[in-house]
Amino acid sequence: MIIVYHENNKVISVSDTNKSSLFSGKNIVATLFEIAIAFPEELVIWCLFDLKSNLNFSEFEKIFHHQKIMASYNPFQNSFLSDAIGYVEESVFININKKVAYPTWQMSSCVGGIQASVLLALKEEINVSNNFDYFLHSLAKLAMSKGLLCHSEPKLLKKIPHLNKFHKNSNFILFRFVKQHYKTRWSFLLFLNLFFYERKILILPFVFSLLYSRRKLKNDLLDNIKVESTKKVVESGTMDVIIPTIGRKEYLYDVLKDLSQQTHLPENVIIVEQNPNPESVSELDYLANEIWNFGIKHIFTHQAGACNARNLALAEVKSEWVFLNDDDNRFNSDLIEKTLENCIKYGTQVASNSYLRLNEKKEVNEVIQSSVFGSGNSFLKSDLLNLVSFRKGFEFGYGEDSDFGMQLRNLGTDILYFPNPEIIHLKAPIGGFRTKPVLGWQNDEIQPKPSPTVMLYKILHLNEKQISGYKTILFFKFYKVQPIKNPISYFFNFKKQWNRSLYWANLLKNQR
């Protein structure tokens, strides 16, 4: 491990080398690359000189438990990029929970670390910069989609100092970053949103940003870096499977047959069968009529709703791991075995596998930090279930799986996407006796827009700028498909619909 202490983008000193004096006063970014060349097997740590006494050396081995991890922590009151970046990106990587290890590309120059092998792999693709924070943000933003796992990690410091310092945000840097890392249309939307919501007309930062071209990385840059986590996440490896189902008897049978052929068999399959017809009984006769090579826990309920069904199933989980499955999935016999191997390799407690429709082409082929969570294609350690659940406010709407994923992230648990093994989602036709739920807002004179459950997710997990950015995009998209073509009338009507959605979302927020 080599530690570089710095101040104002210049090196102050370097530990564990005989040539510290040669680096003193040099550009820290250039120094990091020089150190990586000289010591390609080392972990490289950077730290503000003022935070030297706060370094938490005892946690470094746990934090950097494999080669493709980059971690940093920002104890400042604000971020290097202004919160206006939320107008541009709506993802889970923006609104950082600084109390736990949290996935983000917003790296900090205050303290952090990366393997020298990663720096070497990126050396020819990432430009040396005089601004260390900009360099770190750019590297993480570009490399995250290529398989570098990036976190905000408070355990890098022994005690978080109460710094009343603030980053001096620059609109020129913000617009430049957006132009270099997003499609050009986002620069225009950023300009528009700053005018709409903050009454700022930032012509010069916008114009100057157009001089920069977009940065990109090759997909295979990090492929030669071997990953072998030292973090132990599997003990017994026992697996329970949960499946909510309604009216898909034949499809569910195929799922059970796929499970019965697994090279790593589940201990129990927990099936929650829903049928809101009060006179109905179970149609799943094959559960009792056939012999299965795993235990089956069958719950029959007249209460419809995926959130309720999944929570009922999760309450019955006894094994070390749980597979959140669906009643119209198909998968190969090595799904559970290979997924557990991947979890061991990367030291992760939560994984979402590739979830394609039949004949759909896979777009992402790298193991990355997932911005989504799937309730039909995910594996997680069951001890996490004591702290999370499917929020009832999302029942009969959209967003319950995304909310579940955010609950996990806010515990300090990352969610990794595995491109293999795949799960095929057949998207089977809706079956069974289904009564259309009566939603509280369906008879409102002013119909909420977006759906209150979509809005619920936004207000729970996005910051103000992200919600405003979403509002702008929805405003333009919805205009094309609604009947009011007078722009002024549409503006005022949309405002009413938005406020109505906020009203209902806040009511749903209290439903657990």
Q: Quick one: pLDDT at residue 512?
A: 66
Mean pLDDT, range 428-445, rounded to an integer: 78
Residue 341 CA to residue 239 CA, distance in Å, equals 13
| Contact (Cβ atoms closer than 8 angstroms) between residue 326 and residue 293 | no
67 and 153 in a common domain: yes
Residue 430 pLDDT grade (very low, low, confident, very high; cuts 50, 70, 90): confident
Q: Quick one: pLDDT at residue 431?
A: 66
Is residue 371 a part of any domain in this protein?
yes
- pLDDT at 132 exceeding the cut of 90: yes
CATH of the domain at 374: 3.90.550.10
Q: For the purposes of burial, counting CB atoms within 10 Å of the CB of 438, is it exposed (0-12), middle (13-18) or buried (19 or more)? A: exposed
The domain total for the chain is: 4
Residue 107 CA to residue 96 CA, distance in Å, equals 11
Is residue 443 a part of any domain in this protein?
no
Mean pLDDT, range 142-152, rounded to an integer: 98
Q: For the purposes of burial, counting CB atoms within 10 Å of the CB of 446, is it exposed (0-12), middle (13-18) or buried (19 or more)? A: middle
pTM for this structure?
0.94
Residue 340 CA to residue 329 CA, distance in Å, equals 19
Q: Quick one: pLDDT at residue 389?
A: 97
**C-alpha 412: how far from chain center:** 12
- pLDDT at 17 exceeding the cut of 70: no
208 and 131 in a common domain: no
Q: Quick one: pLDDT at residue 226?
A: 96
List the one residue out of 364, 503, 467, 410 whose CA is nearest residue 152: 410
Angle 452-461/487-508 helices, nearest 10 degrees? Answer: 70
Token pair for 158 = 């022994």
Q: Quick one: pLDDT at residue 141?
A: 98
The tens digit of pLDDT for each residue in 157-170 reads 998 876 677 788 99
- pLDDT at 284 exceeding the cut of 80: yes
Q: Quick one: pLDDT at residue 429?
A: 84
Q: Quick one: pLDDT at residue 390?
A: 96
Residue 21 pLDDT grade (very low, low, confident, very high; cuts 50, 70, 90): low
398 and 333 in a common domain: yes
Q: Quick one: pLDDT at residue 16?
A: 72
Residue 461 CA to residue 406 CA, distance in Å, equals 7
The tens digit of pLDDT for each residue in 212-241 reads 999 999 989 999 999 999 999 999 999 999
Is residue 469 a part of any domain in this protein?
yes
Q: Quick one: pLDDT at residue 24?
A: 75
Q: Among the listed ranges 218-222, 309-313, 323-327, 352-356, which one has the minimum average pLDDT value? A: 218-222
176 and 159 in a common domain: no
Mean pLDDT, range 95-99, rounded to an integer: 97
191 and 139 in a common domain: no
Q: What are the backbone angles phi and psi of residue 102, rounded to the nearest 5°?
A: -135, 135
| Total residues belonging to the chain | 512
Is residue 442 a part of any domain in this protein?
no
Q: Quick one: pLDDT at residue 77?
A: 84
Q: Quick one: pLDDT at residue 433?
A: 53
Number of C-alpha atoms within 13 angstroms, CB side, residue 55? 19
Is residue 435 a part of any domain in this protein?
no
Q: Quick one: pLDDT at residue 201?
A: 97
- pLDDT at 198 exceeding the cut of 60: yes
485 and 385 in a common domain: no
356 and 328 in a common domain: yes
- pLDDT at 274 exceeding the cut of 70: yes
Q: Which domain holds residue 174?
A: 170-219
Average model confidence (pLDDT) for the chain? Answer: 95
Is residue 439 a part of any domain in this protein?
no
| 374-408: b (≥16 Cβ within 10 Å) or e | bbbbbbbbbeeeeebbbbebbbebebbbbbbbbbb
The tens digit of pLDDT for each residue in 452-477 reads 999 999 999 999 999 999 999 999 99
